[in-house]
Amino acid sequence: DAGVTQSPTHLIKTRGQQVTLRCSPKSGHDTVSWYQQALGQGPQFIFQYYEEEERQRGNFPDRFSGHQFPNYSSELNVNALLLGDSALYLCASEAGDSSYNEQFFGPGTRLTVL
Amino acid sequence: RKEVEQDPGPFNVPEGATVAFNCTYSNSASQSFFWYRQDCRKEPKLLMSVYSSGNEDGRFTAQLNRASQYISLLIRDSKLSDSATYLCVVNTYNFNKFYFGSGTKLNVKP
């Protein structure tokens, strides 16, 4: 049973470019959340998708957008990249959208913006 | 004010020691609580959920104090393999967002 998978593992972009990160949830999970983790910090919640809709959003600008597909996989898009967007981007999945659910994390995509 | 605050450490302890971490949260409506462990350059993994009555899993004990809005993690008989960053996580029912603390780094020395 595959856990949460993310691609690519590493990515290098330059300022102003756009990037798309991908996530496949754990089998049986239908809810996907995205987090940004800067070096030395805890993960910061970006948004959550459930039933192909954005259900919750953290304090991130509109440059950060996402999508969930019918098979529950998800994409995170970031436009007009800034140096400060360099971070580890984590995807987490769970079954349903209860606040009591454990979230399972993927290995992350490490984005470097030059 | 941050939603969740933790002492970043590092806590440097010898093998066999007992070590405790605390974490405070600001939203009194918070409903579920977790401790996650994160190894260097890896993803966070659930260590344990934290229940109102407190709970224990082997060498690990978690407690919740709603009145003072903090949760704690106690590790007994520390092992070298316990070296990691421990993340406190709080979720609020109305918003179903996980709020992570910045993590407490633990180094267990031989």
pLDDT of residue B43: 94
pLDDT of residue B93: 64
Please give the full DSSP string across B63-104, using - where no structure is assigned. Answer: EEETTTTEEEEEE-S--GGG-EEEEEEEEETTT--EEE---E
pLDDT of residue A38: 95
Tokens coding A73: 């996989």
**pLDDT tens figures, A54-82:** 988 989 999 999 999 999 999 999 999 99
- d(CA B64, CA B35) in angstroms, rounded, equals 11
CA B21-B5-B74 angle, 5° bins: 15
Please state the φ and ψ torsions of residue B20, each to the nearest 5 degrees: -130, 140
| Surface of A (14-43) touching B: CB under 8 A | 33, 35, 40-43
Please give the full DSSP string across B1-51, using - where no structure is assigned. Answer: --SEEE----EEEETT--EEEEEEES-TTEEEEEEEEE-TTS--EEEEEE-
Q: pLDDT above 70 covers what percent of chain A?
A: 96
Q: What is the largest CA-CA distance in chain A?
A: 39
The Cα of A82 is separated from the nearest Cα of chain B by a number of Å equal to 22
State which residue of chain A sits closest to B5, comparing Cα positions: A42
Size of interface A-B (CB pairs under 8 A): 58
**pLDDT tens figures, A92-114:** 999 876 667 788 999 999 999 99
Q: Which residue has the tokens 């070298």?
A: B80
> What's the distance, CA B21 to chain centroid?
6
Question: Coil, strand or helix: which one is A94?
Answer: strand
- d(CA B105, CA B85) in angstroms, rounded, equals 4
**Minimum-distance CB partner of A97 among B4, B44, B96:** B96
Tokens coding A26: 């754990």
Q: How confident is the model at residue B105 (pLDDT cuts 50, 70, 90)?
A: very high
| Surface of B (22-41) touching A: CB under 8 A | 31-32, 34
**pLDDT tens figures, B29-47:** 888 899 999 999 899 999 9
Task: Name which residue leads in pLDDT, B30 or A85.
Answer: A85
- d(CA B104, CA B106) in angstroms, rounded, equals 6
Question: Coil, strand or helix: which one is A105?
Answer: strand
Q: pLDDT above 70 covers what percent of chain B?
A: 96
The Cα of B33 is separated from the nearest Cα of chain A by a number of Å equal to 8
pLDDT of residue B94: 60
The amino acid at A21: L
